Structure formats: C-alpha cells, structure tokens
Chains A and B, each alone.
Chain A
C-alpha cells in the first residue's frame, strides 16, 4: 500500500488504474429503439416494449493499485453481473475493460480471443464467488484445487506448488492436516477460505470478490475480512468487492459504487456514501442499515 501510494504521489496523485471499466453493458435480449436510447423512459431494468433485460447499463469504474473498491446495491441491481463480465463469465454486450498488469492497459480485454481471455483469467484476476461450488472442485483435495490454478498460470514444478499451496492454506487458517481433504467435507467458512487461497495462488494483481462473507457466521466473517485486509497490506493487490452488506463495505472499501437497475447511480468515498449519500436510492439504502 505504502509503495503504491508513493507512486501515486510521484504522479501528482493521479497514478494509473490497475483496472478500468468503461461503459460496460450486459443485455439479455435484442433491445428495441425504446430501450437502446441513452435515457430510456422506463423504471427498472426490463424494457416494457420488448422485454429485454438490461442487467448492466453503461457502468464505468476504475480500481487503483492497492485500492479496494466496493459495489453495493440490492439483489438484481447488476453488481454481480458487472463483475462476471469483467471475469468473462458473462459475455458483455458492449464496453471497454482494460487491465494494466496484462498489457499496460493497451487493449480492450473484451475483444481478446478466448485463449487470451483464459490467460487474463489465470494471471491477472483472482475470483472468489459467493458460492464456493463455482470456484472449487469439491471432490478434489484442497491442495489439488490450488495446484490446478497454479498449473493454469504456468507453474509446473510439483514441489513448488505443494510448498506454496501449504503456505496459502496456512495463511487462510486451514490446518495442514486437512490440506488433502476435498472441500466437499468442509464447512462453508472453510470452503470460502480455500477459495480465497486458490484465488491468491497465482499472485494475481487484481482480486474480484463476490459476496465473500455472505452466509458466513460472524466469527468466520471477521476472520475473512481480516484476511482480505491483510492480503491488501502485504501484497498491494487491487480488489473489487461486491456485497450487499454495507457493514462489510464500510470495513473494506476505500471507495464505493452504488448500483440500481444496472446503472451506477452514485460513487464516492465509502464514508461519504454512507454518511452523506446524494442519490435518493442511496439515501434509502443507507437508512435501511440496522
């Protein structure tokens, strides 16, 4: 973090973002003249004329080195869809995504060949899904899960992979005695921690975290949050964190975006979003906080 911010200063406070998303859209359906205009007249994200679902609409964001950016919004607001487009789990309908660690941010990642996209997934991004079933092979040992990710990023030395895998599992507090157990037999919290270890295995410069603490008990949640901040401090990773839990966002994110019906309706410093929200929806959301 310190180094990243020093670099930020050298550049007059305007250093280059690690991840830059411009006007990203995800649409299910063809769209029609009524809903493809810049400011369509309907509320929500389903076009009443043609039934097209606008999951993400012209969303833009940037994540700087060592920064944690949060995305909040109600279920169906498009926050996970946005993240899934960045990770190529969904094919974005349009937009521009650039990652500095990949090629200096030269090319729009959405235009890459499937093969290059796979390389970006394996080397640039680490993804942690809300549902560990999406990120892990439940029947293989935890170490194998981690090794799989390392092989995908080009590692071939078994000794190196074992040592690093054990180190990562230790870091996420999985006892070594359980390293060869498949995640299938783990509790939800342990599965989530194995997933985080797997996401970290290729040393990705950018982590994508989708509702990582949702469904975990408070004690495990505290441990996972602690781990995330520890990762940021020690390896200067940039993170995009999707959560509908404002408490989690308050603890983690430097800056936060608020999404509603597929659009980013407000973005700012996290405490500003929570204490002095400007948009009517953000005000409603924040005042729902327990």
Chain B
C-alpha cells in the first residue's frame, strides 16, 4: 500500500479582484511508497508547488483524492480531512521544508529547533528534547557557534538546514520539500543533495519539487515533469 497516492488532483485559483481563474494543476496522479523519493520538476508557474501545497493543505484542493496512510487515522483523504486532523498531521506525521524560515522573531536557532521538538514530543520532557535538538543541529551541519544566534543573519543554506532540522526532529513519516535548492549556489545545492541522500538513507519518504533535476539525478525513485499544470 502506498503511503501517499494522489488521484486526479486539480486545483485552480479564483482571483476575485481581476475576475479571473488561474489553473494551478490539472488531473495529477502519482503515488509514493514508503521510503521512496519522488521528484517533481517544472518551470515557474507549471503547477508543481500547487501539488505540494494541496498535500499540506495550504491550498484548498478542488477535485480528486489525496490518500494518505496515516499512522493514527488510517487511510485518510487529505481533501476532506478536518482542519483539526490536518493540524494533528502537521505536528506529528508530515514535514514541510522550504527555503524560507518562518519562526517567531528573536529566537535563537537552538530555540527554534527545540520548540519544534517540544511541540512534537513535549511529553517526554525538556531534557530529552534538548539532547535531541543538539544532535539534530550537529547532524545537519549547524555547529555550536550558530546555536545562540538569531537566524535572520543566516545564509540561505544555513536557513534551509535549520528548516530541515526543525522538520526532521519531528520524525515525519512524509517530508515535503518545496524547492529547497532555489536561490542556492552550486556548492550549497550539492550540500542539499547530500542531505537528501542522507535522509533517504535513513528511510525518510519524500516528495520534492525542484527547478531543475540535474542536481537530484540518480537520487529520485520516480520523477516527473510538470507543464502548464499537467504531468508531461
């Protein structure tokens, strides 16, 4: 049984002020088995982000089914899951990583990851959460010299690694990567590739969208290209 299977997903955006409808994605179907890495490529505006955001439910999907095999709820259609269920899944089962950092202002890198840990495993106490935070930060190449710093001043690559640490500390069953390599230079992109390789080696199931797949070559179990909202 696939961990995630998407069937005939369509999404368009209605812009009331311009009285227009914009097609996001149309009739997209694919599935992801446990431990697999599925890569989606396409130009800007091809609809690849829309797919990811429909899974995360930032976007309201319109048609189709997004079947996710939840550890807690069993097989669940994310199209129709309640908001409360989605809040639960985001906290405990799904991870979303983008190049942008969204955290409370004036928090150190360490605290941002610690909070993420406490949100997901707060019950086991702050001591274990602190130790896990230290381990994660080191694991993803954020040295101790960065822990006490507000990440406003981080480089793009450091912010991304911080985001990944935040998402991974929750040990998500499914990780969504929203253009993690965008706006990074080649050296940083290679580091991201190594990071994804590492996550894959650890058995993380991932769906990632990328501008260009050359950096991900040989890493994806499946990949497909989006053109004008459709799978090419």
Task: Specify whether A and B are partners.
Answer: yes
Which of chain A's residues 1-33 have a Cβ closer than 8 Å to chain B? 1-3, 5-6, 8-9, 12-15
B186 interface residue per 8 A CB criterion: no
Nearest residue in B to A269 (C-beta to C-beta)? B83
Cβ–Cβ < 8 Å partners of B81 in chain A: 13
Indicate whether A2 sits within 8 Å of B122 (C-beta atoms), given known contacts A222-B105, A280-B16. yes
Q: Do the beta carbons of A276 and B73 come within 8 Å of each other?
A: no
Which of chain B's residues 1-40 have a Cβ closer than 8 Å to chain A? 13-17
Q: Do the beta carbons of A13 and B85 come within 8 Å of each other?
A: yes
Which of chain A's residues 46-102 have a Cβ closer than 8 Å to chain B? 64, 67
| B169 vs chain A, min Cβ distance (A) | 14
Q: How far is the CA of A233 from the CA of B83 in the complex (A)?
A: 20
B59 interface residue per 8 A CB criterion: yes
Q: Do the beta carbons of B13 and A268 come within 8 Å of each other?
A: no
Which of chain B's residues 93-142 have a Cβ closer than 8 Å to chain A? 102, 104-107, 115, 118-123
B53 interface residue per 8 A CB criterion: yes
Q: How far is the CA of A27 from the CA of B104 in the complex (A)?
A: 38
Q: Do the beta carbons of B106 and A222 come within 8 Å of each other?
A: yes
Cβ–Cβ < 8 Å partners of B15 in chain A: 283
Cβ–Cβ < 8 Å partners of A268 in chain B: 60, 83
A176 interface residue per 8 A CB criterion: no
Q: Do the beta carbons of B123 and A2 come within 8 Å of each other?
A: yes
B88 interface residue per 8 A CB criterion: yes
Size category, A interface: 35 or more
A198 interface residue per 8 A CB criterion: no
Indicate whether A233 sits within 8 Å of B118 (C-beta atoms), given known contacts A14-B84, A225-B104, A283-B15. yes
Hey, what's the 0/1 contact readout for B33-65 against A, CB within 8 Å counting as 1? 000000000000000000001000111100000
Q: How far is the CA of A9 from the CA of B72 in the complex (A)?
A: 7
Q: How far is the CA of A255 from the CA of B58 in the complex (A)?
A: 11
Most A Cβ at <10 Å: residue of B59, B105, B118: B105
Cβ–Cβ < 8 Å partners of B88 in chain A: 5, 8-9, 13
Q: Do the beta carbons of B107 and A226 come within 8 Å of each other?
A: yes
Per a CB cutoff under 8 Å, which of A225, A233, A255, A284 touches B119? A233
Per a CB cutoff under 8 Å, which of A15, A219, A229, A271 touches B106? A219
Q: Do the beta carbons of B58 and A269 come within 8 Å of each other?
A: yes
Q: How far is the CA of A268 from the CA of B84 in the complex (A)?
A: 10
Nearest residue in B to A278 (C-beta to C-beta)? B60
Cβ–Cβ < 8 Å partners of B102 in chain A: 250
Q: Do the beta carbons of A283 and B17 come within 8 Å of each other?
A: yes
A245 interface residue per 8 A CB criterion: no
A155 interface residue per 8 A CB criterion: no
Which of chain B's residues 63-81 have a Cβ closer than 8 Å to chain A? 72-73, 81
Q: Do the beta carbons of A280 and B17 come within 8 Å of each other?
A: yes
Most B Cβ at <10 Å: residue of A5, A12, A15, A67: A5
Nearest residue in B to A4 (C-beta to C-beta)? B88
Which of chain A's residues 193-228 have a Cβ closer than 8 Å to chain B? 218-219, 222-223, 225-226
Q: Do the beta carbons of B58 and A275 come within 8 Å of each other?
A: yes
Q: How far is the CA of A67 from the CA of B87 in the complex (A)?
A: 9
Most B Cβ at <10 Å: residue of A233, A255, A271, A284: A271
Q: Do the beta carbons of A269 and B57 come within 8 Å of each other?
A: yes
Q: Do the beta carbons of A269 and B59 come within 8 Å of each other?
A: no
B155 interface residue per 8 A CB criterion: no
Q: How far is the CA of A283 from the CA of B115 in the complex (A)?
A: 31
Q: How far is the CA of A6 from the CA of B15 in the complex (A)?
A: 39
A254 interface residue per 8 A CB criterion: yes
Hey, what's the 0/1 contact readout for A223-243 against B, CB within 8 Å counting as 1? 101100100010000000000
Q: Do the beta carbons of A218 and B59 come within 8 Å of each other?
A: no
Cβ–Cβ < 8 Å partners of B59 in chain A: 272, 275-276
Hey, what's the 0/1 contact readout for B180-198 against A, CB within 8 Å counting as 1? 0000000000000000000
Which B positions have Cβ atoms within 8 angstroms of A?
Answer: 13-17, 53, 57-60, 72-73, 81-88, 91-92, 102, 104-107, 115, 118-123
Show 7 residue pairs from A and B whose CB-CB distance is below 8 angstroms, ordered by the A residue: A2-B123, A3-B123, A64-B84, A255-B83, A275-B59, A276-B60, A284-B17
Which A positions have Cβ atoms within 8 angstroms of B?
Answer: 1-3, 5-6, 8-9, 12-15, 64, 67, 218-219, 222-223, 225-226, 229, 233, 250-251, 254-255, 268-269, 271-272, 275-276, 278, 280, 283-284, 287
User: Which 6 interchain pairs have the tightest Cβ spacing?
Assistant: A280-B16, A13-B85, A2-B123, A222-B105, A222-B106, A2-B122
Extra inter-chain contacts (4) besides given A9-B88, A280-B16, CB under 8 Å: A1-B91, A14-B84, A226-B104, A276-B13
